[in-house]
Amino acid sequence: MEPVCRHGNHCCLAGGDHIHRIAKIHYQRSHDRSRKRLNTLRAVRSTALIFSMKKLITLFLLTSILIGCTPATPTTLPPTPEPDPAQEATAAPETEPAAWWRDAVFYEIFVRSFQDSDGDGIGDFNGIVQRLDYIQELGANALWLMPIHPSPSYHGYDVLNYYAVNPEYGTMDDFRKLLTEAHERGIRVIIDLVLNHTSSQHPFFVDANRDVNSPYRDWYIWSNETGNYWHQGNGGNYYGFFWGGMPDLNYRNPEVTAQMEEVTRYWLEDIGVDGFRIDAAKHLIEEGAKIENTEATHEWFKEFYTFYKSIEPDAYTVGEVYGAGAFLATKYAGQTDHIFNFELASGFVNSVAGESNTGINGAWAFTLKDISNGNYATFLTNHDQNRVISVLNGNEQKAKLAAVLLLTSPGTPFIYYGEEIGMQGRKPDEDIRLPMQWNADVNAGFTTGTPWRMPDASYTQVNVAAQEKDPGSLLNLYRMLTRLRAEHPVLRDGNLTVLETGNSGVYAILRHSDSEDVLILINLKGTPIFEYSLGLPDAILADGTHTVTSLLDTTQANNLNITGGMFTGYRPLAELHPYQAYIFKLK
């Protein structure tokens, strides 16, 4: 979630803008204070629930606020600097069994748009249950559900009640059924946790804004200052980074922290989710003019990490730190389990779009310098960006290459629903979150009623049913890649070395471990490539002649001769076909 101007219009941060915050409070808490607050805040939660329910019936009658949560994303993602010729990843030794998320493939779902089960035109929990077999066949073993709480908006990032589910999506019993059905299939479920702000219609803020003496007044940030991020309220201006409908919570108030810790405990312990995607993590606590990734934010997340691990050691959190690469991800170590690697995402998409290895090789150079063991989350695009095939101007062959890049790389991959069939979508945000295209029937098989938003016009040709029948479809490639990732551990947790190729149109990496070596080779260009030469300058492989076997098809490749653990001048194939990916096992 990134900044939007008031009324939901997208904007970027203005250079040199400063925030004048209320007087700084030294932010320190011991770990046992969290426990004390938790005990005392049981009563706070009960009071909050009663207070919330009195207000919710009225609040749901208000008009939806159709806003997004990230800046407008250009068609071409930001460029990545040029890399060193080769980079090797050396994985840190594992002292304990790998956490479950290191073997996961996540599937991101916007519940409203995935599958409607009752004909009201809005996707719901029972609709997801109906499609769990599809998700399992895709090879995903974990779900990230975008916000599921009551909200006045279609997207849900302005929460009204953290202890309830959006009634448009079903009941809490429906959600529990989804958890049970998913877990029975070995599928984990995490949900969006919006810590940074609430809805301006949340009962806490309504009371805080109504009365300057409200017990919830200090749960938000108030000042007489004006300017960016400040919005007129009753008795002063309140701070809302994204827009006036999303007032920021004041985490310098220990009661706020205790309340959100109780929310976290409730969903992990009482409901049974497997973790959270932390929305807008970098914006939690400002320090003067510094409005992101502050020391106070890091200190807060350190204690939050300790707290949620004390509730459930296997709970997983992945932080949205918009624009982050591996270097910034290291700053959140011991604070979240993962950070999304936006730098790699840009590299993947830029290289495919530009038909050059510069973007992705540069991204690997920086990533491997800071994190060599793949301990981050990867993706192509998400719900805040133009869909990947739209960035690639509808080119399905390029979309296939992007899929190969994502699913043969280190890190925990996240697939945005519909990406696996090439669903199109450009901003505004509603149009990158359209109904899932299941078949060519009316409304794409999403609903028997009137959909909350019409599916993209391409659904009659681009849909799951059609692609399931086509062995060469994008969907079946995704299924093959997730299967290879499951069958070959080296693709999940092996080391990565970027190979020299002698041609900017050729991308080549070696995934290697003590038990297996796999070569990934891609022609990024739309024309055949004859002039290329692969080189491994570091002593990695065992000496001798290695047979090279395709894991994707029946392609016959030349053997590879290794001397001193290295090789130069290797050409597995005389010709690399246009927009073609090859995955070879070395033996």
Name the nearest CA neighbour of 245 among 322, 167, 152, 155: 152
Q: Which domains does the chain have, with CATH numbers?
A: 36-88+101-180+322-487 (3.20.20.80), 197-248 (3.90.400.10), 494-586 (2.60.40.1180)
pLDDT band at 398 (very low <50, low <70, confident <90, very high): very high
What digits encode the pLDDT tens for the residues 86-111? Answer: 443 333 334 456 799 999 999 999 99
Contact in structure between 534 and 571 (CB atoms under 8 Å)? yes
**In the predicted model, is pLDDT for residue 324 greater than 80?**
yes
* Sequence-ordered list of residues with C-beta below 8 angstroms from that of 128, at least 6 positions apart, any chain: 109, 111, 114, 115, 143, 145, 178
**In the predicted model, is pLDDT for residue 54 greater than 70?**
no
- Average pLDDT over every residue of 378-403: 98
Beta-carbon neighbour count of residue 47 at 10 Å? Answer: 12
At 26 the pLDDT is 31
Please work out, in degrees rounded to the nearest 5, the angle formed at the alpha carbon of residue 145 by the alpha carbons of 144 and 149. Answer: 145
SS3 368: helix
What digits encode the pLDDT tens for the residues 113-152? Answer: 999 999 999 999 999 999 999 999 999 999 999 999 999 9
* Sequence-ordered list of residues with C-beta below 8 angstroms from that of 174, at least 6 positions apart, any chain: 124, 125, 126, 165
Cα(85)–Cα(66) distance, rounded to whole angstroms? 46
- Average pLDDT over every residue of 289-318: 97
At 259 the pLDDT is 98
Give the pairing type, strands 412-416 and 106-109.
Answer: parallel
- Average pLDDT over every residue of 45-60: 37
Contact in structure between 561 and 543 (CB atoms under 8 Å)? no
**In the predicted model, is pLDDT for residue 320 greater than 80?**
yes
Partners of 582 in the β-ladder: 521
At 98 the pLDDT is 75
- Average pLDDT over every residue of 565-579: 98
> Could you give the dihedral angle defined by the CA atoms of residues 555, 558, 559 and 561, in that order, rounded to the nearest 10 degrees?
-140
Amino acid at 429: D
Helical axes 295-311 vs 31-59, angle rounded to 10°: 90
- Average pLDDT over every residue of 514-543: 97
What digits encode the pLDDT tens for the residues 181-213? Answer: 999 999 999 999 999 999 999 999 999 999 999
**In the predicted model, is pLDDT for residue 21 greater than 70?**
no
pLDDT band at 360 (very low <50, low <70, confident <90, very high): very high
pLDDT band at 224 (very low <50, low <70, confident <90, very high): very high
pLDDT band at 50 (very low <50, low <70, confident <90, very high): very low
**In the predicted model, is pLDDT for residue 56 greater than 80?**
no
At 97 the pLDDT is 63
Q: Which residues are catalytic?
A: 279, 320
